[in-house]
Structure 1
Amino acid sequence: MKIKNFTLFLIWAGAAISIAEIYTGSLFAPLGLTKGLLAILIGHIIGTLFFSLGGLMSYILKLPAIKSTKVVLCNKGTIFLGALNILQLIGWTAVMIIQSAKAFNGALGMSVSVGILFVGISVLLWSLFFESEAYWVNNIAVILLFILTIGVVAFLKGGEILTPEGNISFADAIELAVAMPVSWLPLVGDYTINSENRKSSFIYTFLGYFIASCFMYFIGLFVSLKTGGKDIISYFASIKSGFIPLLIILLSTVTTTFMDVYSAAISTMAVIKTRLSKKELLIIYSLTGIIAAYLFPIDKYQNFLYAIGSVFIPVYTVVFVGFFILKYEESGYLNIPAVVSSIIGIITYNYMVYNGTSLLKWYLTPTITTIFLTALIYTVTQTFFKRKEKIL
């Protein structure tokens, strides 16, 4: 079934309208309004371009997101990437459920444990319902979420901007903005594969996510600046306004987390042989997300985002260079140049995030440096291997 352009736009706008995006934006507050907004825009331009290229690639190949990477990564590489994707999707499911449960705790006094179960079961029911219904259900939810989210800002009209204390650097803020759209890379193609045309698969995916995600980050930044450092969950808990913020939280969690659960099911079916149906996998991953929510240490949220970026940025740099630029179609079980380049990229990213950002200018962030270095190494090593094969 073809996905209309406006529907594709709303699907990815809906993915961005979430409590996790608002919460991440609040982390930018120590930079102040101007620098915070600049970091949001720069990071989202980089991250959403990467994200949209993944959607375009799936459309061209007419393959789901994970399967499309096989043309560069080969069989073993795709299986490894699929397994990592399933793990990060379970992690995202847990993060979203926990954040929502904490907001319910603050606004209603509901215990976090009960909140986790309530939100998690809602995600499960939505997954089962949405799987059998048309995209218009999601379209209505996204439009309502957008309107309700704007309503939250109305509580903070007037007053002065209070820049809270903190030690986030401009480069680190860019990384947090890049990581969010990049985290959707292993599933964007599951939707864009059914786009109306090639141009739509890129443009409407980019615009839907970019506009909505930047707005969510801005709300988080704005709330934190107006409240002197409160994140969105603490803000919801303090205003005790009940219906509006709780409806935003529940709807945004359910509609966004459904995409995580759905992609985990698609990734499983793409990389391993299983007798389980898609619906059975949706149930399994929804329940797994609930269990993980009881065990997941959310206090390390930024590190979770960095971990996603550290893997997907170098791996997908290799994939995009191989497919769009070098136009190689690999065969066999493993692409050695891709593995070597990805490992070097992962090491580079992690070193810069935790040790090296203070040594470089803001425009050489871990993401930018990793992209250029990984692309260069892969191009050189892949060209060498191809020439060697021809000689032999």
Structure 2
Amino acid sequence: MTFEQFKDKIFALAKAHGVEAQLSYSQNKNFQVRYQNGTMDQYTDAGKFKITLQLLKDGKLGMSYTETLDDPEKVFEDALSNIAIIDSEDVEYFYDGKGEYPKIEPYDGSFEKLSVKERLSYVEKAHEEIRKSSDIINDMAVYGQQMNEMRLANTLGLDLSYTNGGGFMYAMAVAKDVSPRSAVEFAIGRKPEAIDPILVGSKARDEALALVGSKSVKSGKYRVILRNDVFSDILGMLISMISAENAQKNLSPLKGKIGEKIGSDILTVKDLPYHPLSISCAPFDTQGVPTKEKTIIENGVFKTFLHNLKTAKKEGVEPTGNAMGTGIQPINLYVEPGNKSFDELLKSLDDGLVIIEVEGMHSGANPISGNFSLGAKAFRVEGGRITHGVEQITISGNFLEMLGNIEDIGNDIRAFMGIITPSVLISNLDIAGNA
């Protein structure tokens, strides 16, 4: 049975039972290979598809799932029976497909056209580059690619599809020291030429070597640069805060703050359905609502929450195209870059720290209160130059207060799986050390 035949059967059953139906079809193809010290120890080449059926009756949703096209009647019966056990008072909706959908450059499948030999060459080249230093005692390199096909159709007339994908790699180098020093570098892109394995390997190696001799610092308030990868990690706290559903449940510190100043004058954050650096782009969300560019924070002022159909209906506003499964998320959370290069940010910092890694985001960051306390690694900066590595420190503060303390923003923008951001200079941040 084809998907079209499966869909037609489901929709016929829905009509006969007086319910609306919506089918979501996703097919994923994933390839990943990992080398440890030049030896392959992991190889994955897999694909799968999944169909989710939702049935809507009197504002209640019943759901079922399948990974085959064999028995549409059973899938329908399971979803129909699940409607009866829904005890939520929330009213659910389907979208009819009206509106203007953004034009998004489709993924061209260029990574899938690579031979296995070409794919393996990414990790081999990274390993060779890392091992050019005899002070490296351990290394790892990973290459992966993914392609996702999405189709959404319902009995209201909606029928949409898109294909997304790209490739990525990362490498870790460990340098010998009293305590071994490790560093990780990565790359991500929509085309193979966007990933340079030699550059990835050299950056991982050089940073690990630069961390040799790391020491802690005295506790106190420091001016710091949050490097783009670190700022991406911490900026993930904002995703929960801008969910309208969390705000409606009193789980966001931004509730009631639309139109208020929550960040620095130079901070503007947007949600973009497409960015050329990102492999996470979409013309519609998982409810079929068109995605669109929207400004979340403009010159420090909070402008909007992100909505799905249900939360938008509750507040009498238009949905923003940010349904993501059962939650709400941005498509690409984008921080508008400034004008300074990373080296120019270092000169502006003059004396302080560059935070290059944080640990414990899941346990040490609370998106409801905004408070965080995270283990970190850094570089000491004196006279605008990096002088030595820093270990055994903890950074702490409040996320929204930190946004207000952004003093400068770099132009070294990078994409990190749904977050696109440059490095930022923070005027003061609490650092706990043991020097």
The structure showing larger relative contact order (alpha-carbon pairs under 8 Å, at least 6 residues apart) is: 1
TM-score interval w.r.t. the shorter chain?
under 0.3
The structure richer in helix per residue is 1
Normalised by the size of structure 1, how large is the TM-score? 0.25
Instruction: Kindly name which structure, 1 or 2, has the bigger radius of gyration based on alpha carbons.
Output: 2
The structure richer in strand per residue is 2
Normalised by the size of structure 2, how large is the TM-score? 0.23
